[in-house]
Structure 1
């Protein structure tokens, strides 16, 4: 049982810490939040979250055990006692633990669950976080929000494909990248991740095989695997996805769809060359293999723009293009988009309406205004300037602390440095040691389960001071 809560015991209020914690657990049990038969978080986990000694938790558990609320069970740790222990009239309840274990959607990898939890620990240094620092959020946001139209215009449900004014602005925006598409073929989604979920549920069948780069961000998700699909990794080189490997799998009929991040790839930062893009597109045309192009990092070029999108080559309706504002404008807006053939967009819109009835209308209106008023371009100039400085500083720190121990390539854009250790070591152990020292990392095995040599470092989130402290602690944590 993963333990997450915003509650904390209050020190020096006259009530012992163990008693406050016992009362907290008692309230959880009596309210049904922790039903009979469910496992209690470990003493260690609770002590870590509450910032107390483990002996304090032992004392609280002893009181709860004496009250008949919890009990130790061989092989299962500590569980909430059966309802009959305190009320014989209470009927036997469902075994929620069994439901949790058998749900169709697979759980995140344990390390990703740990990361999702640890990101909100006070004072944690986040060296792998794939999002912009709050310092990079647009200063014009307040100005835009002061321009809110009458309530009836933005607080109702949008049409299935999203607000027309935003789809119109995205159509104009994409024309700048050589993608000429009408608003009718644009679907607004709640971030790029939802686009993947809609495609998995709305277009593919159980048993499909998704081809993607290896390593890949997609490997860190359970979207396609939970829908009964398999993942096939294709090797990367300095020009991007290996075209020969793609032809091997596509030609043998082993791929149902290709997913790629051609611009500032996550996690490696690789930019697919123009020639490679042309080769990949032509191979997919030859074998009638649909492409999902995830272009969330396109606008984050730092040295020079990446080559035009694969979608700009597409005259066959082969490419489903995924864009997002989460990496550039704000992750909290939850605005992304899919571009594709109209019948595909209508299908995905129908599935989306069945799941959330549309992305936030307020967020859609806000992004439309940023694009319409030319503020998005101004904001990108600021973000690129800041990211260049952050990239330079992290590279300087790596050269000082890890030269000779690891190697890396300076990324031309995006957020990430793909760091490779020159000798074998336990990345799992390094992750744990760094976390204990207050530094949160993204290990390479999240993106390729066989990888034991890489870290994905991000210069987009941590402050300059945090980067300095964090890289120093990372170097100290290396065995």
Structure 2
């Protein structure tokens, strides 16, 4: 199904149906509407274009008469030709075949819509997992940039592993986590997401099994699946992954890996207990199952600091550790790091150089100044204080508006509240109805291996008055859908 972000001009002298015909022809000609693509129903088009259905019928009839679209017996209308193929006897180029035949799989429809709608004007983003613009430390950033100005003598490419001075700073910084590695065992990447891409390209063959929490952030991505790998969900309890789940799904054959977010898990907010960490590390070590520890939320503790990372107890190089400043400081820097055995880091660095020839030079220089100056630690203290206020305020709003229709966790850090609805209403319908009210939610199905009644609520992005307005509206929509369901 195609996406349409256009509406006819009702003040134009050109007839509405003619504007619609011209728009669709121009999109077909540009290759945006590929041959073989289904277009929305007449009713849906009337909603999108905000016109009468008769106008849509007239426009579609015109397009059919030109041989551009065709109605199917099974219902729906499909694009069957393009403007240049009507003027040429040469076979038309079918971009749809190229798109569908590519290696990388498309995101789920809901995830694509979330990614697009996040930038819609005046929409309240209740699930966005990044710091809001008001949390950006502008004055500190000005200080850092001013200090960097006189130090920047070149912005050329850096060595494969990244800026050596930054890796030295990170090596020293991670000692407080109990992780002691030399700069040579650190690779600078363009965020933790690129780290996962490099791991998927570099270390595992097609058909490998990736063990992940259920639910998991990784389920919202198709990084591993696009390369023919299989994700297997592991059940969790209040202490994190249940060890027996790894035993049941790990097996003894090679080509498997465990991906985990043990600290302020995305999306549930769970913190893996110290005892569970020890057991999982030992079990995976015994079976030689490598672990990818995604620790990007570690610094976002509120009440107390979390248990030490799995990597801090890793004596055999079994853990690849992912860090980033995207959640704590600025996702736009696109800087993260991988820590692991030097041979693995060398391999990942080689593949990274083949893909982008290194992460941003200036971002690496600025981050080095942030950390080495002590301003990063100073920022984190204030950031945690603000996160605590936001979390507490959001919990208050939920208590006032959701206590009889949902249950939720109280996270001890990170960004997320894992909200579970009491009723069995359609989450897809809730998603659509919320959009109409300019509210964007993240359904739990984006992160899980099965449908569920959960929503990921993030208190990190929306302003608190927006959060209150959005959650109140959301509670009204839920109650309305419950009432409709009960009346059926």
Contact 1:419 1:456 in 2 (8 A): yes
Residue pairs, 1:190-229, within 5 angstroms: 190-229=190-229
1:445 maps to what in 2? 445
> 231-240 or 299-308: which moved more?
231-240
SS of 1:223's partner is: coil
SS of 1:413's partner is: coil
Closer/same/farther in 2, CA of residues 35 and 401 from structure 1, 3 Å limit: closer
SS of 2:177's partner is: coil
SS of 2:79's partner is: strand
SS of 1:320's partner is: strand
2:295 maps to what in 1? 295
Residue 136 (1) aligns with residue 139 (2): no
1:350 maps to what in 2? 350
Find the aligned partners of 1:334 and 1:473 in 2 and give their Cα distance: 34
SS of 1:211's partner is: strand
Deviation for aligned residue 1:379 = 1.6
Find the aligned partners of 2:379 and 2:319 in 1 and give their Cα distance: 28
Find the aligned partners of 1:16 and 1:144 in 2 and give their Cα distance: 56
> 12-21 or 251-260: which moved more?
12-21
Find the aligned partners of 1:263 and 1:51 in 2 and give their Cα distance: 47
Deviation for aligned residue 1:280 = 1.1
Closer/same/farther in 2, CA of residues 343 and 432 from structure 1, 3 Å limit: same
2:416 maps to what in 1? 416
1:368 maps to what in 2? 368
Contact 1:218 1:447 in 2 (8 A): yes
1:92 maps to what in 2? 91
Deviation for aligned residue 1:91 = 1.8
Find the aligned partners of 1:135 and 1:288 in 2 and give their Cα distance: 45
Find the aligned partners of 1:211 and 1:464 in 2 and give their Cα distance: 36
What whole-Å deviation, never above 9, does each CA across 1:246-296 have from its counterpart, x for those lacking one?
Answer: 233335448711111010001110111111111111111211111100001
Residue pairs, 1:172-183, within 5 angstroms: 172-183=172-183
What whole-Å deviation, never above 9, does each CA across 1:234-254 have from its counterpart, x for those lacking one?
Answer: 211111111222233335448
Deviation for aligned residue 1:384 = 1.1
Residue pairs, 1:55-204, within 5 angstroms: 72=71, 77-79=77-79, 81-83=81-83, 86-87=86-87, 89=88, 91-139=90-138, 140-149=140-149, 153-204=153-204
Contact 2:41 2:77 in 1 (8 A): yes
Residue 280 (1) aligns with residue 274 (2): no
SS of 1:266's partner is: coil
Closer/same/farther in 2, CA of residues 384 and 19 from structure 1, 3 Å limit: farther
Closer/same/farther in 2, CA of residues 25 and 84 from structure 1, 3 Å limit: closer
Contact 1:295 1:322 in 2 (8 A): yes
Q: TM-score, normalised to structure 1's length?
A: 0.91
1:465 maps to what in 2? 465
1:402 maps to what in 2? 402
Deviation for aligned residue 1:341 = 0.5
2:326 maps to what in 1? 326
Find the aligned partners of 2:185 and 2:437 in 1 and give their Cα distance: 49
Deviation for aligned residue 1:145 = 3.0
Deviation for aligned residue 1:90 = 5.2
Gap runs ≥5 in structure 2: 483-488
Contact 1:426 1:452 in 2 (8 A): no
Find the aligned partners of 1:41 and 1:100 in 2 and give their Cα distance: 20
Q: TM-score, normalised to structure 2's length?
A: 0.89
Find the aligned partners of 2:15 and 2:375 in 1 and give their Cα distance: 54
Deviation for aligned residue 1:395 = 0.3
Find the aligned partners of 1:50 and 1:373 in 2 and give their Cα distance: 54
Deviation for aligned residue 1:233 = 1.6
Closer/same/farther in 2, CA of residues 193 and 97 from structure 1, 3 Å limit: same
Closer/same/farther in 2, CA of residues 84 and 224 from structure 1, 3 Å limit: closer
What whole-Å deviation, never above 9, does each CA across 1:63-83 have from its counterpart, x for those lacking one?
Answer: 655666555555562426345
Contact 1:4 1:117 in 2 (8 A): no
What whole-Å deviation, never above 9, does each CA across 1:434-453 have from its counterpart, x for those lacking one?
Answer: 22222111111122132422
Find the aligned partners of 1:352 and 1:182 in 2 and give their Cα distance: 20
Closer/same/farther in 2, CA of residues 64 and 409 from structure 1, 3 Å limit: same
Closer/same/farther in 2, CA of residues 415 and 49 from structure 1, 3 Å limit: farther
Deviation for aligned residue 1:186 = 0.6
Contact 1:36 1:83 in 2 (8 A): no
Closer/same/farther in 2, CA of residues 326 and 91 from structure 1, 3 Å limit: same
Deviation for aligned residue 1:94 = 2.6
Contact 1:29 1:80 in 2 (8 A): no
CA RMSD of aligned residues (A): 2.7
Find the aligned partners of 1:42 and 1:332 in 2 and give their Cα distance: 38
Closer/same/farther in 2, CA of residues 244 and 70 from structure 1, 3 Å limit: closer
Deviation for aligned residue 1:25 = 3.7
SS of 2:457's partner is: strand
> 291-300 or 368-377: which moved more?
368-377
Contact 2:148 2:369 in 1 (8 A): no
Find the aligned partners of 1:333 and 1:46 in 2 and give their Cα distance: 39
